[in-house]
Amino acid sequence: MRERRWELASPIEFEDLFGVSRRLQGLGFRVVAPDQDLICYVEEWRVDAPEDIHRLGEWPVEDVTLVGTSTNWNGDFYLLAGAYHTAYRSHQRSDTYCSVSHPWQMAKPMQTHHPQAMFWVGFRGEQHAFIRVRLDTIEIVAPGETRADHQRSLWTTERRDAFLTAIEALDIPLTPSVEKGKVTLHALDSEAALFCSWPDAFGPCQFEYNVADPFQFLLPATQLANTSAQSSPTVRTYMTGFLPEALHEFWDVQSTVQHAYRCCVHCQIGDLPDIGRMIQPAGKLYATISEFQTQDLLPHGNDAWAIVGIVAFEERFKIEVRLNRAPLPEADMLPWLETLIGYPMVYAPLPPFP
């Protein structure tokens, strides 16, 4: 779901992270101890070859995805997606995944949603293709938050129309509507594999439609890509579940792509500096150190679930706090978080199209 996120305004030293841990423990919250295992999520780790994943061999690694980023891309999306599908067919298994993302443009300006959205066309398993469409809102209003209720009709109307633009371009049998103040999507085929996700206070911001025919979405997706206002957009590819030997075939589809790994690493807090150095210069890692409900701290506020984590990049460290909703009015959130963590904080939502 959509979530609210804040982080430290400035980096701190690694040793200072333990002061934050002690602060949370003093409030009665469970915190990951130095000798406990945790999972850190690595992203944007730029690599020169698929085999570079073995550099993390000291730690167990899972959920490995190779991401290829083409900036200022200029080509035929149909041919690009088709080339990745050709490589995919050579190595597909029940646990493999490959997708290609491209921006698309709203049909008209909107007040609550950014004009540029994103779609992914992809292949999963042995007999499975999908199209995924995601919208980006100008403001994040998490599920349960009411501060934008006075504009609910505007939010839902614009979202319904935005989804309709994509649905018509893709020619898929879906109907968007507004029910009980939220946008809903219905498949005309009751047995269709439709998944709605990434919800905020006004319904889902993303849908995924699945079919058996791997070629069904290639041409419609190209038509949706052609709506983009960017003449040279950023295009990304995602490959999951493949051995490094198989990834070479995907690697060679485009010659001017920057490749980076995403993965989950099982480690301990003391390992984070070493992993952080290994994934320089662009890599980031995220590791959760505490989770708790806010009701005990804020008995008169809205109950929310908080996740406190470590963020590492360029050998620097920050603390992040993510909440499934704001437990206090907006004006009170930053002072409360700064008191909780003990450092100046800033609002820092994550990018909508990673």
pLDDT tens digits, 238-272: 999 999 999 999 999 998 899 999 999 999 999 99
| Interacting residues of 277 by C-beta distance below 8 A, sequence separation 6+ | 315
Which CATH number is associated with domain 1-36+270-354?
Answer: 3.30.310
What are the CA-CA distances from residue 290 to residues 20, 31, 303, 310 (Å)? 11, 5, 17, 10
What pLDDT, on a 0 to 100 scale, did the predictor assign at position 325?
A: 98
> Which has more confidence, 10 or 314?
10
In contact, 102 and 228? CB cutoff 8 Å: yes
Q: How far, rounded to the nearest angstrom, does the alpha carbon of residue 195 sit from its chain's CA centroid?
A: 16
d(CA 317, CA 154): 40
In contact, 267 and 278? CB cutoff 8 Å: no
| Interacting residues of 334 by C-beta distance below 8 A, sequence separation 6+ | 6, 345, 347
| Interacting residues of 195 by C-beta distance below 8 A, sequence separation 6+ | 207, 208, 210
> Which has more confidence, 232 or 196?
196
Q: How many CA atoms lie within 13 A of 351 on its CB side?
A: 5
**Can you give the residue ranges of every domain in the chain?**
1-36+270-354, 72-233
Whether the pLDDT of residue 230 is over 90: the answer is no
What pLDDT, on a 0 to 100 scale, did the predictor assign at position 121?
A: 98
Please give the average per-residue pLDDT across 291-297, as a whole number. 94
Q: Which residues pair with 42 in a beta bridge?
A: 263, 285
pLDDT tens digits, 126-147: 878 999 999 999 999 999 999 9
Please give the average per-residue pLDDT across 3-25, as a whole number. 98
d(CA 266, CA 285): 12
